Amino acid sequence: MPFSRLAAATTPTAHIGLGLAAVGRPGYINLGRDQDLGENRSAEAMRTRTHELLDAAYAQGVRYFDAARSYGRSEEFLADWLHARPDIDDIVVGSKWGYTYTAGWSADAETHEVKDHSLKTYERQRAETAALLGDRLDLYQIHSVTPDSPALTDKELHAKLAEAAAQGTTIGFSTSGPAQADAIRAALAVTVEGEPLFRTVQSTYNALETSAAPALAEAHDAGLTVIVKEGMANGRLADPYAPDALKAVAAETSLGCDAVALAVILRQPWAGVVLSGAATATQLASNLHAAVVDLDEDQLTRLAALVEDPRAYWETRGRLPWH
């Protein structure tokens, strides 16, 4: 399994990955992103930014890189970076299928992505991903599975995914929404010829949204690698948007709110890889300080009080504007 490479890594940041959702397309819902990226959102400007970010991440010990078909041109930018650096062979590359990017490189599009978990979409997007990443793809995940997703019951799709697994690609799924725990447990029950289909799960977990934790622990115990996304709650846990309690703890540690927020996740025994969604090298460097944050019980208790009702959290997320 490709994630075994991460377990063997010796750098303190090996279990922090880099997600490319914020830099593969001109529009995204992260708070403050308009200031982070400036006005030039051309494809070439974003390609250059992504390559600089990937260089910085690799130099600082990051070894997992996460893209998706719906992240604009993230797979293309990552593929270009890999092609220019053929000697880099110690990383794990993941991508996702199930959403189609529809914004046409506009930050103001009415619809940015369309969800479809059908076999037809899988076959189309798998070919698109293969054309860009080829044999550098280690992990392919279903994007944002919910309890009602047809991807949980489509036996023909399961057979195709199992075929890809037999050819060496790790198969996983990601989740979103207030019923993540239900989706995770349903996915854990999916088997092909008596064997579990999925080897990874990627879910939202952060200081505001912890509802998936018990199910993620179950997934970990079942042998899946757990990848945590949206650890910064789309910017809600970063300066200047962070809650006062988080700002206070960050001041006590002399590190950023982002480092403290990610450190809370790294403490979870089931967390295999925690994604940074940084849009700049400066943000990334600050995120990576999470590996050295030491929180005491009083600080953890104060941070635990930030947890929101899952439905309220996801309703707030759904109202975030595309910048």
Whether the predicted pLDDT of 105 surpasses 80: yes
Helices (DSSP H) in the chain: which residue ranges?
A: 4-7, 33-37, 43-59, 74-84, 119-133, 155-166, 180-188, 213-221, 244-253, 257-266, 281-288, 297-304, 310-319
Those residues whose C-beta lies under 8 Å from the C-beta of residue 247, and which sit 6 or more positions away, are 239, 257
Point out which residues pair with 65 in neighbouring strands: 18, 93
Mean pLDDT of 238-255: 98
Those residues whose C-beta lies under 8 Å from the C-beta of residue 53, and which sit 6 or more positions away, are 18, 23, 278, 279, 280, 281, 284
Task: Label residue 189 exposed, middle or buried (CB < 10 Å: 0-12, 13-18, 19+).
Answer: exposed
Check residue 323 and give its pLDDT.
Answer: 81
Whether the predicted pLDDT of 319 surpasses 70: yes
Check residue 119 and give its pLDDT.
Answer: 98
- d(Cα 308, Cα 207) in Å, to the nearest integer? 9
Where residue 26 falls among pLDDT bands split at 50, 70, 90?
very high
Whether the predicted pLDDT of 6 surpasses 60: no
Closest by Cα among 49, 43, 14, 13 to 26: 43
Check residue 158 and give its pLDDT.
Answer: 98
Check residue 4 and give its pLDDT.
Answer: 53
Q: Give me the chain's average pLDDT, please.
A: 95
Six-digit token string for 215: 């199910």
Whether the predicted pLDDT of 181 surpasses 80: yes
Whether the predicted pLDDT of 33 surpasses 90: no
DSSP string across 198-236: -SEEEEE--SS--TTHHHHHHHHHTTPEEEEE-TTGGGT
3-state DSSP call for residue 174? strand
Mean pLDDT of 258-269: 98
Q: How many CA atoms lie within 13 A of 187 on its CB side?
A: 35
Mean pLDDT of 176-182: 98
Check residue 3 and give its pLDDT.
Answer: 54
The DSSP output letter for 289 is G
Six-digit token string for 223: 């042998």
Q: Provide the residue count of the chain.
A: 323
Question: What percentage of the chain carries pLDDT values higher than 70?
Answer: 96
Please give the residue that has the higher pLDDT: either 8 or 190. Answer: 190
Q: What is the pTM of this model?
A: 0.96
Check residue 314 and give its pLDDT.
Answer: 98
Check residue 59 and give its pLDDT.
Answer: 97
- pLDDT tens, position by position, 121-164: 999 999 999 999 999 999 999 999 999 999 999 999 999 999 99
Check residue 1 and give its pLDDT.
Answer: 42
3-state DSSP call for residue 303? helix
Mean pLDDT of 198-226: 98
- Domain parsing of the chain, residue ranges: 4-139+200-317
Mean pLDDT of 264-289: 97
Those residues whose C-beta lies under 8 Å from the C-beta of residue 316, and which sit 6 or more positions away, are 236, 308
* Domain 4-139+200-317 falls under CATH 3.40.605.10: no
Distances (CA, A) of 298 to 1, 211, 294, 304: 38, 22, 12, 10
- d(Cα 268, Cα 151) in Å, to the nearest integer? 28
Check residue 263 and give its pLDDT.
Answer: 98
